[in-house]
């Protein structure tokens, strides 16, 4: 795929450049609680603006149902982008209507505009090719060139991600080029030992990637809510812990495959449990205790890996050359159940490995728990996209940028 550097080697002053970013930031009302995704697209937007392009930034935010919804407006993201750029950023109150047309027409060389949430238009996410294509035609009328830099959306076959690049000269922005380069280090050019730490709530979300990694990773460490389905498959009592009963057969098969192929599939040896899920708003102390993974009381719920598991997982990461981590080890939003996630993050920092934090809740945990983002090898902006790439799937947004 062509990169933005190739675009910048040409004169871009006065040209309208459509940047498909990922400004899907978490909001508390109109307050952004984590601006990491806005910061991630800054290098691309800055470079284009400094070269004199008229930059049109577009993104989705949340899941509005194909119609305007003030709760999902990109206005706060546009304001934050302007603060980070140190320049005024114009904001269009629609995506392809009168406001967008007038806002883009009013841009001078080197200026930046953000158009309203792409998902306020049903054509953005439509499964009908014609409807998506019609919306892509409207978006194309706003620009002369397309730059794809919303890595968190490249696994979606959406109009602005898949259909629009076919209608304009297209290039990969700095973020996408970086993300793809990192993922290739996890698939095509892996330095060993290669350790993967997987967490999160649902094992079903990770089955496909585990299937692929059983042939590629040297060790797979399992934590989070998904660990209890694995422990149940081994015959352990898991109390009221999260269980996906319909995945037990698949998990048992993976445990068997790991043993046959020599891949270490490491499960928690103990857990931090409580009688009920904690209150994440008040952060009130929970009645938390640590128990052995094979001795969980029937009236308790596993909410984090325990102290012995933390030591075990850190030891399995210590000698790694490559580490990919996706998914927290427990309910890290509550202080009583954050230590497992902290331990894995710290183990990545303590190792000499090339470390990749695979987006989503893992990236959020790094920031919320106070770790230095720059100390990791790479923090992905797209958890779902990263996983699908590692599963070996073709990502529509990347395929669209290929020539």
Is 34 among the annotated ligand-binding positions? no
CA angle, corner 168, sides to 166 and 174, nearest 5? Answer: 95
Beta strand ranges found along 149-208 (DSSP E): 170-172, 194-198
Q: Is there a catalytic annotation at residue 37? A: yes
Pick from 193, 204, 335, 326: which is nearest to 264 by CA? 193
Catalytic residue among 15, 16, 20, 37: 37
Please, which residues have CB within 8 angstroms of residue 177's CB and are 6 or more apart in sequence?
Answer: 3, 4
257 labeled part of a ligand binding site:
no
Residue 267 labelled as part of a binding site: no
Alpha carbon distance 235, 237 (integer Å): 7
For residue 37, say whether it is annotated as part of any ligand binding site.
Answer: yes
132 is catalytic: no
Check the annotation: does 367 bind a ligand. no
What span, in angstroms and rounded, lies between the C-alpha atoms of 347 and 93? Answer: 45
Q: Is 312 known to sit in a ligand binding site?
A: no
303/241 Cα distance (integer angstroms):
8
Judge whether 176 and 30 are in contact, CB under 8 Å: no
Q: Residues near 181 by Cβ (< 8 Å), separated by ≥ 6? A: none
Name 170's bridge partners.
146
Residue 362, marked binder? yes
Indicate if 202 belongs to the active site.
yes
Please list, in sequence order, all residues whose beta carbon lies within 8 angstroms of the beta carbon of residue 256, skipping any fewer than 6 positions away: none
The annotation status of 63 as a binding-site residue, yes or no, is yes
User: Is 333 annotated to bind ligand?
Assistant: yes
Q: Is 359 annotated as a binding residue?
A: yes
To the question of whether residue 156 is assigned a binding role by annotation, the answer is yes
Catalytic hit among 2, 39, 157, 202: 202
- Listed in order, strand segments (DSSP E) in 159-261 are 170-172, 194-198, 219-222
236 is in an annotated binding site: no
Residue with tokens 């996408």: 176
Is 302 annotated for ligand binding? yes
Torsion of CA 75, 81, 86, 87, to 10 degrees: -50
User: Any catalytic annotation for residue 200?
Assistant: no
Considering the candidates 340, 360, 382, 397, report the single residue annotated as catalytic: 360
| End-to-end Cα separation, the chain, in angstroms | 6
For residue 157 the two structure tokens come to 């076959």
Three-state secondary structure call for residue 289: strand
| Sequence ranges of the binding site | 22-24, 37, 60-63, 119, 156, 206, 302, 333, 359-362
Q: Provide the annotated active-site residues.
A: 37, 202, 360, 384
In the annotated binding site for ATP, the residues are 206, 302, 333, 359-362
Q: Which residues are annotated as a binding site for substrate?
A: 22-24, 37, 60-63, 119, 156
């Amino acid at each position: 795929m062509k990169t933005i550097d190739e675009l910048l080697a040409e004169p871009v002053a006065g040209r309208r450049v459509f940047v498909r970013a990922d400004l899907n930031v978490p909001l508390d009302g109109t307050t952004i609680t984590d601006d990491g995704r806005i910061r991630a697209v800054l290098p691309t937007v800055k470079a284009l603006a400094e070269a004199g392009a008229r930059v049109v930034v577009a993104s989705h935010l949340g899941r509005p149902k194909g119609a305007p919804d003030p709760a999902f407006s990109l206005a706060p993201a546009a304001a934050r982008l302007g603060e980070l750029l140190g320049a005024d950023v114009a904001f269009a109150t629609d995506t392809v209507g009168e406001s967008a047309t007038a806002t883009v027409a009013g841009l001078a060389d080197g200026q930046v505009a953000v158009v309203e949430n792409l998902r306020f238009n049903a054509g953005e996410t439509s499964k009908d090719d014609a409807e998506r294509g019609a919306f892509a035609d409207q978006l194309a009328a706003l620009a002369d060139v397309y730059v794809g830099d919303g890595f968190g959306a490249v696994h979606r076959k959406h109009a602005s991600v898949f259909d629009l690049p076919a209608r304009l000269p297209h290039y990969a922005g700095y973020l996408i080029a970086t993300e793809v380069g990192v993922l290739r280090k996890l698939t095509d050019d892996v330095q060993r030992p290669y350790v993967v730490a997987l967490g999160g709530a649902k094992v079903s979300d990770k089955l496909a990637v585990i299937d692929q990694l059983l042939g590629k990773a040297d060790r797979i460490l399992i934590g989070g809510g998904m660990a209890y389905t694995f422990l149940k498959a081994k015959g352990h009592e898991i109390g009221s812990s999260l269980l996906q009963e319909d995945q037990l057969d698949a998990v048992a098969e993976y445990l068997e495959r790991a043993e046959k192929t020599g891949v270490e599939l490491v499960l928690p040896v103990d857990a931090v449990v409580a009688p009920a899920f904690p209150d994440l708003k008040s952060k009130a102390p929970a009645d938390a205790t640590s128990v052995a993974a094979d001795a969980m009381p029937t009236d308790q719920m596993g909410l984090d890996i325990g102290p012995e598991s933390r030591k075990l997982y850190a030891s399995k990461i210590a000698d790694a050359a490559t580490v990919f981590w996706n998914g927290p080890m427990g309910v890290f939003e509550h202080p009583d159940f954050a230590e497992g996630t902290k331990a894995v993050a710290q183990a990545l920092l303590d190792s000499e490995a090339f470390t990749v934090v695979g987006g989503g809740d893992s990236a959020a945990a790094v920031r919320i728990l106070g770790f230095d983002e720059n100390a990791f090898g790479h923090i992905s902006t797209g958890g779902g996209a990263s996983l699908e790439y590692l599963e070996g799937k073709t990502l529509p947004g990347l395929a669209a940028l290929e020539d």
